[in-house]
Structure 1
Amino acid sequence: MSVKSHLLRYAAASAVAAPLVWTPVGALEPVRSDEIVVTASPLERPAEETIIGVSSLSGEALQRNLANTIGETLRREPGVSSTYFGPGASRPVIRGLGGDRIRVLSAGIGSIDASATSPDHAVAVEPATAEKIEIVRGTAMLLYGSSAAGGVVNVFDGRIPTTLPEDGVDGALRVGGSTADDGVEAAGAFDIRLGELGGGALVFHGDGAYREAEDYDIPGFAESARLRALEEEEHDDHDEEEAFGVLENTAFETKSGAAGLSWIFDRGFAGVSGSFADTLYGVPGGHAHEEEEENGEAEEEGGVTIDLRQRRIDFRSEVDGDFALFKKAKLRVGYADYEHKEIEPSGEVGTVFSNEGWEGRLELIDKTRSLAGAALDGAVGFQWRLRDFSALGEEAFTLPAKSSQYGVFAVKELTTGPWRFELGGRYENTSHRVVETGFERSFDGLSVSGGVGVKPTKSLFLGVTAFRTERAPSTEELFSNGPHLATGAFEVGDPTLGKETALGVEAAARILTDRFVFRINGFYTDYDDFIFEAQTGEEEDGLPVFQFMAANAAFRGFEAEFEAELFQLGAFDIHGDAGIDYVRATTRGQTDDDLPRIPPLSTLVGLEARSEWADLRAEVEWAADQDDVAAFELPTDGYTLVNAYLTLRPFATARRLSLRLSGENLTDEEARLHTSFLKDVAPLPGRNFKFAVRGEF
């Protein structure tokens, strides 16, 4: 047995036999991380030195939070909630903003699906094979366009390799299951070096994922107590049997996979990948409609199922060199053919959504120059998006339309001593054309931002950013006009909507030491003609009418995080962390009405014990009551969820094999997300135990 094996065995034994001894803090591993993020700026700065709010999720934290959708995977991050439409569809909500204002990217290129069209549409990006997820809170319009007015989620899945694998091959495999929904999952990925070519090496990537689950368990009634009371008040003879204990129509099956090939050389890489995603999932909530039978009686049916497929091709390249004024060029291009069918309980296809799209971006990174003794860096870029979208069927709620978007942007950064000054701008042209009538709307948008950051001491960073942005309305906001069975709404757009203009400021402070990290971001944004979807109180075709409208509005709030290495207990390092976020959003006028679906004050507190062979974590997730509600919107009760996680690395000679056990919502509490259209008919799952085995090679 090797010395290393003896030491590992001794560490494991000492965790049981060691007395409760406090070890000096100086003996602990530092908590501070200088991980580079690429989403917030083409200049690739450390996360702790970005002026706007940015974070990344990777490694053990990503594996612990991994869920069926991107929205649920990120929901516990400060400042992030989700649209939760059951386990099959959930998109991120950042600082109270969702839909077309949040871009979900795959390595810098959009998901090219229909997920921004409606919250019941799943994101065609697979979290199970993600290596890292970066989150930008606040506007990222300068780099990613007007659809990033509220933030960006960038998923890096490694489908186009950028580095050579160690020892010629590496990879990972994960299998697991869950009890609340009888779920099973399997996911794997690998990179293999094929050989040399033209001064570089060829690397092949492959990955695949499969998940399946039944309807999930809930703590009590599917409908909230407030909704049940309202129904009893409106219908004295209301004696319909209520769903209890299980949320119907939440089963799903997902299959995805990809193959990629990269040429990696001294100055960069170039690669291509092809991928597919197939998902069949139910939409909970029992959005019923009535059909007239031959005998004249009406039979109520409910439960829409969505059959989704996407086929996608991506190209990505980065090259370092001497390109006149520039030192690096980055090119990304993606194409996807997407379709999903909304299948009614009878088995008939009600609506077919299709979206064929192209997206590309070119970034050129400046050479560093000296200006009056300061270092001047920067980048320029060009981005284009083409979209051919249609919704066909009796319940198609929006007209087929073709859209194009072209944008150019530039960012500059001046660094002198502890100070950094940033300035950026973007011009963008967006055009939407209705295919059937030829009706077209075109918008020109100009957005600018400027920021100042300073690092007065080694452990302190301060930053402030001001911005003025313009966002063009989306096709759904302009042209929707029809019933949407999956959401249980009759959606109405407004073809006369104009640009949405935002003027805002964001401030950031970070205290960074080897033993603790504190981060806080505060923001205020003032909107002219803020576009949102609100219930009108009217009905059409037996469905409540939701109208896209514009009003002046204001968003303000903050998110804060704290992490600390507390002490050592035997073989375990004890780590604590806490996060809190708050956003308040109202129209701006004589009445200052509340905007719909804004998340409440929430916090998460965790305590973790880490060692060579095991990690243990307990956390409490709390959300306040949300009583600041829009017209026709019911308040939402707060909740407290208790979660526990255990990761074991049992074999001293196989440190890359881990066993994960987790218990979520251990107290079986009813919890509903105010940001979800389905909050009053679809609670989060009840008590759920998960297990997973992960091996790396």
Structure 2
Amino acid sequence: MYNERVKSVFRINRKTLLTTTAIALAGVCSNATLAAAPPLDEQLEEIVVSGAFEGRKLGETILGATVMRKEEILRQLDGSIGETLRRQPGMSSTFFGPGASRPIIRGLGGDRIRVLDAGIGSIDASSTSPDHAVAVEPALAERIEILRGTAMLMYGSSAAGGVVNVFDGRIPSTLPEGDVDGGVRYGHSTVDDGDEVTGAITANVGTIGGASVVLHGDAMYRKTDDYKIPGFAESETLRAMEEAEDDHDDHEEEDHDHEEHEEVFGVAENSATKSTGGSAGLSFVFDNGFFGFNVRKSDSQYGVPGGHEHHHDEEEEESDEDREDHDEHEEETVTIDLDQVRYDLHGEVSGDFGWFKKAKIRFGYADYEHTELEGDEIGTVFSNEGWEGRLDMIEKGGESWNGASGIQIKHRDFSAVGDEAFVPGTVSTQYGLYSVKDFSFGAWQFEAGARYEYTKYAVDPAAAGPSGRSFNGVSLSAGAGYDISDAAFIGISVFRTERAPSTEELFSNGPHLATGAYELGDANLGLETALGLEATYSYATGPLSFVLNGFYTSYDDFIYELATGDELDELPVFAFTANDVALYGFEAKAELHAGTYSTKTFGDIDLHFDAQADFVRAELKGVAGNDNLPRIPPMSALVGIEARAELFDLRTELEYAAKQTRVTANELPTDSYMLWNAYLTVRPFDNKDLSFEVRGSNLGNVDARQHTSFLKDLVPLPGRNVKVSFRAAF
């Protein structure tokens, strides 16, 4: 039945061209003074320190990106990378409860968005399903970079929709100031009675030969209870549908069960989380580069809210005793136990390498295990042992051009073992070669890039179905930008990209308890081809900064997961299918410095106003009737007022999401919402590296549901929350 199925910037900078010639914005911020997020015009001064455009200001590159410094990360910090980034323009999240939330960029998620750890993939199973958490910890991040649009030229076809690159400083690339730096942070949240503690230290411990030896260590702990919600767990729309169905139901027992379920009120059951993690690293820093390694371990346990039930295939009548045992089993909750051990090597060397001036190497290996527990019983165990390596060579270039070329290799040994292992064991290998170039001629800038990628899947011979697939893809991009004046810039880019389907899109075939769905892949899927056009206009002078980006992408054989309306094993069927799709929209941001006001008590106070908005539309082409894609975010906006002084920073904002009525035939619409958030940071001592923060989220206690979430009709976003924290850096 339908209700059973349901249960299942962008601080973009002046001179920003949303182009597919995306590059890695590397570098790790140190534990600097804990201040408010910088104004938009200051963010334009961010320095690009890797890729084809090394050493240039971000505002002088043809690149669409957001760079979040540590101060802003901590202000927006939530328990997952998806929720931490959710308020950035063009961003949404999968929100599968507080334990699992993956970023969505311009309506695209899953295997089209890569979450990177300092340029290397997270090597987990988060793209397999929305209930799988990302094994990257935002609480320890020093810097987060978001590349919108296709970033696949450098990072592979699984970055076709964008990249989130997290830098945590676990492998130091420079010497710490004063030989030692670090920080500690404690926070407590009221909505879930949550506690979080993080700490990190980096120290120069001596020299060996001509290299300085730098040690790094960090640790984190987070524990939350079930979070509070403003009203019923189920949405008003879903409850109305269930009530209408009950009107046609003649079975009193089923009516009674529904009434009990409907009474879930005021709390999102089974949403508690617990996470621990830590790492140790060692780097050798020398005059022309560094080389280091790190080992880390992360453990996370979290509930999957939403009342997912386990279904049985038996059709025979049950005795009262059997039915009682059956009902008791159906009420068992789903929890996730996630463990990962990871090893990383990073190195950079500058020198004379013929055509090149710098070599960068990154390598990561991880052993990941994700166990789905049905009550106390082990349901399904997902394992992912994999590694990824890349070598980037920065070209010497000339007076008017720069460039970078490189190779990337990924290997993944994935398996799922259990009664509901919906994906067969698969070994995947991917090789990629890329080259990007940047040319400058006076007020004009040009970019061009290309990537060749080979992807191969080998399926476990014991599994039914095809033994594997292989794909060859070629992607191309070109862009041009022009300085209209010192204050204004306009640019345009075109691209044609090819993405190989993922393991899950090809080979899924089975029930998945956590999502409450029977998932079906299509082994005959081919390359997903995109032809796109992106444009930008930016203006920044005096007190005003403004950026407007627009994009249009035409997809051939766009792959997506669609609720078919059918059932298998008493579960709704979600099938991967391909169709031609048009995706278009915009992102805009403006900021106004309203002046500096002198006071006797607080000194000078800077007042800023900011506003942002984004919109994305996804349409199936050549389809009569309903042409909507599922789970596309609605238009959203955010307006804020911020006062900044030496002693304090104060900000209040309104966050709005419009009603989403453009839904598929088997999808419910989502109501609009507006959230009121406020932030206060106080630095009461002469040492400004000590601060206290109070953050209020959803202060109006509004029932807010994220349309991009599979759980949107089963659990809302958290209710009113006040989070207090203390931070100290040294």
Q: What TM-score, normalized to structure 2?
A: 0.89
1:682 to partner: Cα distance: 1.4
Aligned counterparts of 2:451 and 2:230: Cα–Cα separation in 1:
49
Q: Which secondary structure does the structure 2 equivalent of 1:629 belong to?
A: coil
C-alpha separation between the residues in 2 aligned to 1:98 and 1:331?
A: 28
Contact 2:627 2:664 in 1 (8 A): yes
For the 8 Å contact 1:178–1:184, the answer to whether it is kept is yes
Does the residue aligned with 2:321 lie in a helix, a strand or coil? coil
Q: Cα gap change, 1:659/1:143 in structure 2, threshold over 3 Å: closer, same or farther? A: same
- State the distance in 1 between where 2:572 and 2:353 align: 58
Determine whether 1:393 maps to 2:443: no
Look up the SS of the partner of 1:278 in the other structure.
Answer: strand
Please say if residues 52 and 438 of structure 2, whose CA atoms lie closer than 8 Å, have aligned partners that are also in contact.
no
Question: Is 1:270 equivalent to 2:296 in the alignment?
Answer: no
Whether contact under 8 Å (1:39, 1:136) holds in the other structure is no
Query: What's the CA shift string for 1:309-334, capped at 9, x where partnerless?
Result: 00000011111110000011110000
**Structure holding more strand per residue:** 1
Q: Could you tell me which of 336, 339, 342 is aligned with 2:369?
A: 339
Partner of 1:670: 703
The aligned counterpart of 1:284 is 305
The RMSD of aligned alpha carbons is 1.6
- Quote the offset at 1:56 in angstroms: 1.1
Residue 37 of structure 1 deviates from its aligned partner by 4.1
Q: Which residue of 2 aligns with 1:166?
A: 177
- Give distance in 2, aligned partners of 1:506 and 1:138: 9
Gap change, CA 1:140 and 1:635, over 3 Å in 2: same
Identify the range of structure 1 (459-468 vs 319-328) with the bigger mean alpha-carbon deviation. 459-468
Unaligned ranges ≥5, structure 2: 1-38, 250-254, 313-317
Choose the corresponding residue for 2:408, options 369, 373, 383. 383
CA contact (8 A) 1:51 1:464 kept: no
1:657 aligns with 2:690: yes
Q: Does 1:408 align with 2:433?
A: yes
Per-residue displacement from partner, 1:429-464 (whole Å, max 9, x unpaired)?
Answer: 001111125712000000000000122322222221
Matched residues in 2 for 1:538 and 1:350: separation? 24
Task: State the shift of 1:49 in Å.
Answer: 3.2
Deviation at 1:180, TM superposition (A): 0.5
Q: CA deviation at 1:496?
A: 0.5
Query: Are 1:368 and 2:368 an aligned pair?
Result: no
Partner of 1:120: 131
SS at match of 2:108: coil
Q: How much identity, in percent, do the aligned residues show?
A: 58
2:612 matches 1:579: yes
Q: Taking structure 1 as reference, are residues 633 and 408 closer, same or farther at Cα in structure 2, changes over 3 Å only?
A: same
Aligned to 1:421: 446
Deviates further, 82-91 or 585-594: 585-594
Q: Deviations 1:28-51 (Å, cap 9, x if unpaired)? A: 996553112468856464333343
1:505 & 1:431 partners in 2: Cα distance? 30
Out of 387, 390, 395, the position equivalent to 1:358 is 387
Output aligned runs, 1:193-204, within 5 Å.
193-204=204-215
SS of equivalent to 1:476: helix
Counterpart contact for 1:355–1:388, Cα < 8 Å: yes
Q: Secondary structure at the match of 2:134?
A: coil
Aligned mates of 1:40, 1:470 — CA distance in 2? 22
- Residues 40 and 591 of structure 2 are in contact (CA less than 8 Å); yes or no, is this contact kept in structure 1? no
Q: Which aligned pairs between 1:674-685 and structure 2 lie closer than 5 A?
A: 674-685=707-718
1:296 aligned onto 2:322: yes
Q: Distance in 2 between matches of 1:132 and 1:457?
A: 31
Q: Structure 1 pair 39/106, CA: closer, same or farther in 2 (3 Å)? A: farther
Quickly say closer, same or farther: Cα 1:70–1:248, change in 2 above 3 A: same
- After TM superposition, give the deviation of residue 289 of structure 1 in Å: 2.2
**1:446-595 alignment, distance < 5 Å:** 446-569=474-597, 570=599, 571-591=604-624, 593-595=627-629
The secondary structure found in structure 2 opposite 1:88 is coil
Question: 2:347 aligned with 1:313, yes or no?
Answer: no
Distance in 2 (alpha carbons) for counterparts of 1:302 and 1:511: 56
Summarize deviations over 1:286-323 as a string: whole Å, max 9, x none.
Answer: 10125678932131324200000000000111111100
CA deviation profile, 1:461-517 (whole Å, cap 9, x unmatched): 222110000000000000000000000110000000000000001111221224222
2-structure distance, mates of 1:624, 1:43 = 40
Aligned residues of 2:51 and 2:394 also touching (Cα < 8 A): no
| Residue 535 of structure 1: how far off its partner (Å) | 0.0
Write the distance in 1 (CA, Å) between the matches of 2:175 and 2:542: 31
1:627 aligns with 2:653: no
Structure 1 contact 657–694 (Cα < 8 Å) conserved: yes
Q: 1:41 to 1:563 in 2, by over 3 A?
A: farther
State which of 215, 225, 229 in structure 2 corresponds to 1:214.
225
**Cα deviation digits, residues 155-210 of structure 1 (max 9, x gap):** 00000001101111000110011000000000011100010122120100111111
Please give the secondary structure, in 2, of the residue aligned with 1:232: helix
The residue identity in structure 1 corresponding to 2:379 is G
Q: Unmatched 5+ residue regions in structure 1?
A: 1-27
Is residue 692 from structure 1 mapped to residue 700 from structure 2 by the alignment? no
Amino acid at match of 1:35: E
On the 8 A contact 2:402/2:437 being kept in 1, the answer is: yes
Instruction: Measure, in 1, the Cα distance between the counterparts of 2:552 and 2:46.
Output: 27
> Which amino acid in 1 is paired with 2:574?
F
For 2:95, what is the secondary structure of its paired residue?
coil
**Alpha-carbon distance, 1:418 to partner:** 1.5
Residue 231 of structure 1 is matched in structure 2 by 242
Change (3 A) 1:286 1:198: same
1:376-431, Cα deviation, whole Å (9 max, x unpaired): 21111000000000111001111110000000000111111111111000000001
TM-score by length of 1: 0.93
Q: Is the 8 A contact 2:631 2:709 kept in 1?
A: yes
Say if 2:676 is the partner of 1:642. Answer: yes
Equivalent residue in structure 2 for 1:435, among 460, 484, 505: 460
Of stretches 109-118 and 414-423 in structure 1, the one that deviates more from structure 2 is 414-423
Change over 3 Å in CA distance of 1:361–1:232 after alignment to 2? same
- Give the structure 2 partner of residue 20 of structure 1: none
Length, aligned pairs only: 664
Query: 1:270/1:573 Cα in 2 relative to 1: closer, same or farther (>3 Å)?
Result: same
> How far does residue 633 in structure 1 lie from its aligned partner after superposition?
0.4
Deviations 1:70-119 (A, max 9, x none): 00000000000000000000000000000000000000000000000000
SS of 1:240's equivalent in the other structure is: helix
2:650 alignment partner in structure 1 = 616
- Partner amino acid for 2:655? E
Instruction: Please give the alpha-carbon distance, in whole angstroms, between the structure 1 residues aligned to 2:349 and 2:404.
Output: 14
SS in structure 1 of the partner of residue 484 of structure 2: strand
Runs of 4+ in structure 1 over 6 Å off? 291-294
CA–CA distance in structure 1, aligned partners of residues 266 and 529 of structure 2: 46
Q: Secondary structure at the match of 1:457?
A: coil
Relative distance call for 1:97 and 1:684 in structure 2 (3 A) is same
Distance 1:348 1:473, change over 3 A: same
Question: Residues 610 and 523 (structure 1 numbering): CA distance in 2 closer, same or farther, change over 3 Å?
Answer: same
Check 1:288–1:85 CA distance in 2 against 1; reply closer, same or farther (3 A cut).
Answer: same
Structure 2 residue corresponding to 1:596, chosen from 606, 630, 637: 630
The answer to whether the 8 Å contact 1:40/1:54 transfers is: no
Matched residue type, 1:100: D
Task: Supply the AA of the counterpart residue of 1:441.
Answer: R
Preserved contact between residue 438 and residue 445 of structure 2 (Cα < 8 Å): yes
Code of the residue aligned with 1:603 in structure 2: it is A
Deviation at 1:60, TM superposition (A): 2.3
Secondary structure of 2:84's aligned partner: helix
Alignment of 1:348 with 2:377, yes or no, is yes
Conserved in 1, the CA contact under 8 Å of 2:307 and 2:333?
A: yes
**Secondary structure of 2:154 counterpart:** helix
